[in-house]
Chains A and B, each alone.
Chain A
């Protein structure tokens, strides 16, 4: 089974995150890492090929530093990496990103399963998996908290607020997984050493036959007009219990429309 895992390199949420002058995320001046939510699809892919057989390719679209996300995935055990890196990609929205990913997956070829995380920890839009499936003409089964692959079918469980659904899709398919699906492994010392010898290909937009004008900031369907820091948290309201604490609490909650 050949699995492609789409992973994203994101600014470290622990460090100070900033924007560029063109209102895009600053990806160069800050420490980055493999989006934590993308460790789950990498782990899921590794478990699937550990059990059956096959190859895990990690695919990322991003600037030079994004190679780090591939490296981490390879250290965890993925077999090879593909990095789409092109100056024209800067500022791409989800629509463009899904186009680039789709073309890269077609170029990788012979893919049985495409796995993604639930969302990137920077953009948190969760739309790329669906767009990707649409572009590839593949079934999309998203938000999987359980995944099994058997007899040419992927079966997932999706836990909703009111019910858990079991959904089947024929392969190839695009599946996004949640952070409930597994416990991602740490790389090991051997993994770090082995990763150095694993092949990583770097592709440009031209390699994929993608027109530079169809991606990037100018082609984006949305623009960020301005941004400002989230205001500091407001002090909470303390309800003093003078025998009527319960009533006051209920009044507060109903005023806020919680009850």
Chain B
């Protein structure tokens, strides 16, 4: 079975120390100002956080096995201090680096990966559109080949890491024709930042994740070289589906970090806040929800690292895609819903203070909701799980 080794724990300690020293003292300020801390990204790069799954030739760790579990640990530990920074890493690797690493040509990898792995640059992946989210196949953005250039027209919505000062490239899915059966042919195309016709819209006003960079993108006769096609023409959708499971497990790890943070903050508070002459935690009415929180943290963590381990086993050729898909959907739906509940318990135990931005649990509460939506909504996870059970499809 799976277990975390001493190496994993050493690595967790490193990321925790980093997050507490480099993020915790500033995060309330960044969050209030909706400030994306560009200067933090290369520091994360120096720690090796962007290169855990990458080979050494691009500056990565070059791990033979178990890389994804390390990735999840890093996301969990950053997420324990701040969710926005956690998603910056998760999306930076899962959506930015992974597609290039998995499907890129030798030249594409050489061109983009060294900077991305070092944290000198960030990349995004644009799948979601104003009219196509859960139903990603409904993509309307089009790209047509004109000589040796793709001409892209359309729009993307909610794209993480797409508009930072160091964003180097955004890979977008676009319709590049029709398959023989009449279904849309989707391909992935890399659009370097600053390409004429590629507009990054102003950042969204979000409920949470204030420190994470999210933009709508629009493409108006945007031209990029034909060589910017990522992978094969027409395989955009299939490629995307293959990277989906990683993203779900990563979001689950982010949720574990959030629930863990709630557990720590709330246990502290319940032990020290006095009401009716004793610490509030002495009342079962406060202690039991905290016990539930501890159960959720434990269960989320186990489901998440089981799925991460399965993913690593899949990479090593010892497990099937089907097993990972099911485990990923299960951990994602459970951990993210548990995290939302955890923030509700935490803010409740904090009373009025829980509603005040002065206390991190208020930020946690705002940050939790998106976990049930991004990288596939809870409903989508349940669809996947039900399909995995072999139930008849609508």
Contact = CB atoms under 8 A, between A and B. Distances in A.
A190 B61 contact: yes
Contacts of A220: none
Nearest to A71: B10
Interface string A184-207: 011111101100100000000000
Contacts of B11: 189, 192
29 contacts: A71-B10, A75-B10, A75-B14, A185-B46, A186-B14, A186-B17, A186-B18, A186-B46, A186-B47, A187-B14, A188-B14, A188-B46, A188-B47, A188-B48, A189-B11, A189-B14, A189-B47, A189-B48, A189-B49, A189-B51, A189-B61, A189-B70, A190-B48, A192-B7, A192-B10, A192-B11, A192-B14, A193-B7, A193-B61
Contacts of B52: 189
Contacts, number: 32
A26 to B, nearest CB: 22
Interface of A: 71, 75, 185-190, 192-193, 196
Contact of B7 (A187, A188, A190, A196): A196
Label chain B's interface by main secondary structure.
helix
A7 B65 CA distance: 33
Interface string B44-57: 00111101100000
Contacts of B7: 192-193, 196
Contacts of A190: 48, 61
Contacts of A192: 7, 10-11, 14
Contacts of B70: 189
A183 to B, nearest CB: 11
Interface hub of B10, B11, B49, B61 (most chain A Cβ within 10 A): B10
Interface hub of B14, B17, B18, B52 (most chain A Cβ within 10 A): B14
Interface hub of A185, A189, A190 (most chain B Cβ within 10 A): A189
A158 B70 CA distance: 43
Nearest to B45: A188
A189 B74 CA distance: 10
Nearest to B21: A186
A38 to B, nearest CB: 15
B62 to A, nearest CB: 9
A182 B353 CA distance: 39
